[in-house]
Amino acid sequence: MERVLILGGGVGGTIVANLVSRKLRRQIDSGLAEVTVVDKLGNHVYQPGFMYITFGHEKAAKLQRPERSLLDQRVQLVVDEVTRIDEATHTVALASGKSLGYEHLVLATGSRIAPEEIEHFGAEAHHFYTAEAAQRLRVALNAFKGGSIVIGIAGMPYKCPPAPLEVTFLIEAELRERGLREKSEVHFCSPIGRAFTIESVSDMATPVLEQKSIELHTFFNVETIDPARKVVASLEGEELRYDLLVLVPPHHGAQVLIDSGFAPAPGGWLPTDHHTLQVGGRPNVYALGDATDLPLSKAGSTAHFEAPIVAERVAAAVLGRAPAAKHASYTGRVMCFFEIGDGKGTLLRFDYDHPPRPPRPNRIWHLGKVLFNKAYWMTVPRGRV
Amino acid sequence: MTTQTSPSPITATRTIDARGSFCPGPLMELIRAIREVEVGALIAVRSSDRGSRIDIPKWVEKAGHRLVGVNEVEGYDEIVVEKLH
């Protein structure tokens, strides 16, 4: 029996499960192989939609579906929490006390946010990395009648790198629509020396920030929040007063990966081969999505394009053949939409060797993102695109 | 600041090997180390990303620390920073 065990039912884990089960259909039906997904909640959540809750275009209930409904019938789903991975015995321990064995392990455990690492974050800062937080930010925006809005990043790497800039642009557009722009300052704080990590995207976004009179603060690594003075301070010694503070919380990989010796503390990101997606040189352990330490966006799109490589390599190993050339090696391909505000967007498409060349923002790319969000459930998790 | 073409003779308090990591990885590793070490400590960052020799000195200047040197070693740069506060 060849057991393929996939930890995590997000974008990456779900696509890999469906693709592997198709490739191993005969082996599964004849009892020679099995594919199992372990997911803590048993719900698949479309996280890119959270931002749209803040701007009133999405509802939390529409952003999740039962994981079972997205999986091929040949895939087994175990709703449980992984507490330990034992490499010596090739077993995974679960919170329920059960354990699962594997010959092939796929780590699609995503990332977790840690706002508690910044003192006063919970009481003072808003974010949009959960449905509830995005809704609270909506309420705060409704109550905002003018003043200083500070948007920043309290730790790198983080999920969906364009998101804080997108939120900044969308908030600024909303302030204009509500007649509050003249009474407001908008500050965008970047931890590095430019607006965005990728230079070509930064070159596209910086003039947009200037055009919208959004003040850019570079090398602003959030250090402290002072609730009495309503001031956020950077490690570099800069202070900004806020009436509304929006911060990307610190992110980490899954704790179980650190505890089990797969990923180094404190980040918890898996050392992953750029092309084979194998973890730490292990021939039978793969990673994809946010869980890796690859120099790419932590985004569903990355997991989406990594999944066919992991699925092909796992299936090939089970079948005792070489991986098919088309999906043998990951090129770093990522593609995602980028909201600019005012109903406009652009597209970021890149790989390890080719940085993005974002087209001039227009309505088409904004509508592309809207359509993609709607079509997601019928296409991406099922491995149809 | 000095620019050399041989390994640094300075004994760093902490050495960060960020080779193979891309911008902003080496800078973020330096920032994490700055938060952890004592004032006066010397941190050496090894980076194969050529952008680090621009980004890191700019950050050091803004953050008010001291750039001790940028040493060009075969295939990578070693950037040494002293934590001043």
Closest CA to B56 of B84, B41, B77: B77
Phi, psi of A276 (to 5 degrees): -85, -20
Given a cut of 80, whether residue A343 has pLDDT beyond it is: yes
Average pLDDT over residues B15-40: 89
Residue A340 one-letter amino acid: I
DSSP state of A32: S
Phi, psi of A166 (to 5 degrees): -60, -45
| Cα–Cα distance, A44 to A75 (Å, whole number) | 15
Given a cut of 90, whether residue B74 has pLDDT beyond it is: no
Given a cut of 70, whether residue A364 has pLDDT beyond it is: yes
Mean pLDDT (chain A, rounded): 95
Average pLDDT over residues B45-65: 93
| Core vs surface per residue B38-66: b (16+ CB within 10 A) or e | eeeebbbbbbbbebbeebbeebbebbebe
**What is the model's pTM?**
0.92
Tell me if A193 and B58 make a contact (CB, 8 A cut-off): yes
In the block, tokens 């001043």 appear at: B84
All residues at 6 or more sequence positions from B32 whose CB lies less than 8 Å from its CB, including other chains: none
Q: Which among A197, A219, A295 has CB closest to B59?
A: A219
Q: CA-based angle A235:A129:B52, to the nearest 5?
A: 40
Given a cut of 90, whether residue A223 has pLDDT beyond it is: yes
**Residue A323: its pLDDT value, please?**
97
| Cα–Cα distance, A302 to A295 (Å, whole number) | 11
Rounded to the nearest 10 degrees, the angle between the axes of helix A11-23 and helix A300-319 is 30
**Residue B7: its pLDDT value, please?**
55
Cβ pairs bridging A and B (under 8 Å): 36
Given a cut of 50, whether residue B49 has pLDDT beyond it is: yes
Helix, strand or coil for residue A75? Answer: strand
Given a cut of 80, whether residue A279 has pLDDT beyond it is: yes
A95 exposed, middle or buried (CB, 10 Å; 0-12, 13-18, 19+)? exposed
**Residue B50: its pLDDT value, please?**
87
Which residues from A are below 8 Å from B35, CB to CB?
A: 235
**Residue B8: its pLDDT value, please?**
56
What ipTM was assigned to the predicted interfaces of this complex?
0.84
- Find the helix or strand (DSSP H, E) in which A247 lies: strand A244-248
For chain A, list the domains and their CATH numbers. 2-110+254-334 (3.50.50.60), 115-250 (3.50.50.60)
Which residues from A are below 8 Å from B64, CB to CB?
A: 236-237
Average pLDDT over residues A163-174: 96
Average pLDDT over residues B48-65: 93
- Using one digit for the tens of pLDDT, what is the confidence trace for A285-297? 999 999 999 988 9
- Using one digit for the tens of pLDDT, what is the confidence trace for A104-132? 999 999 999 999 999 999 999 999 999 99
**Per CB distance under 8 Å, which residues of A are interface residues toward B?**
156-157, 191-193, 197, 218-219, 221, 235-237, 295
Least confident of A380-384, B59-63, B78-82: A380-384
Tell me if A193 and B55 make a contact (CB, 8 A cut-off): yes
**Residue A278: its pLDDT value, please?**
98
pLDDT band at B2 (very low <50, low <70, confident <90, very high): very low
**Residue B9: its pLDDT value, please?**
64
CB-based contact A287:A108 (threshold 8 Å): yes
All residues at 6 or more sequence positions from A142 whose CB lies less than 8 Å from its CB, including other chains: none
Given a cut of 50, whether residue A84 has pLDDT beyond it is: yes
Q: Does B55 touch chain A (CB under 8 A)?
A: yes
- Using one digit for the tens of pLDDT, what is the confidence trace for A297-311? 999 999 999 999 999
In the block, tokens 């930064």 appear at: A202
State how beta strands A33-39 and A75-79 pair: parallel
Residue A215 one-letter amino acid: E
Phi, psi of A126 (to 5 degrees): -105, 160
**Residue A322: its pLDDT value, please?**
97
DSSP state of A71: S
- Using one digit for the tens of pLDDT, what is the confidence trace for A308-329? 999 999 999 999 999 999 999 9
Q: Which among A157, A192, A221 has CB closest to B55?
A: A192
- Using one digit for the tens of pLDDT, what is the confidence trace for A21-78? 999 999 999 999 999 999 999 999 999 999 999 999 899 999 999 999 999 999 999 9
Q: Which among A157, A192, A237 has CB closest to B27?
A: A192
Catalytic residues of B: 23
For chain B, list the domains and their CATH numbers. 2-82 (3.30.110.40)
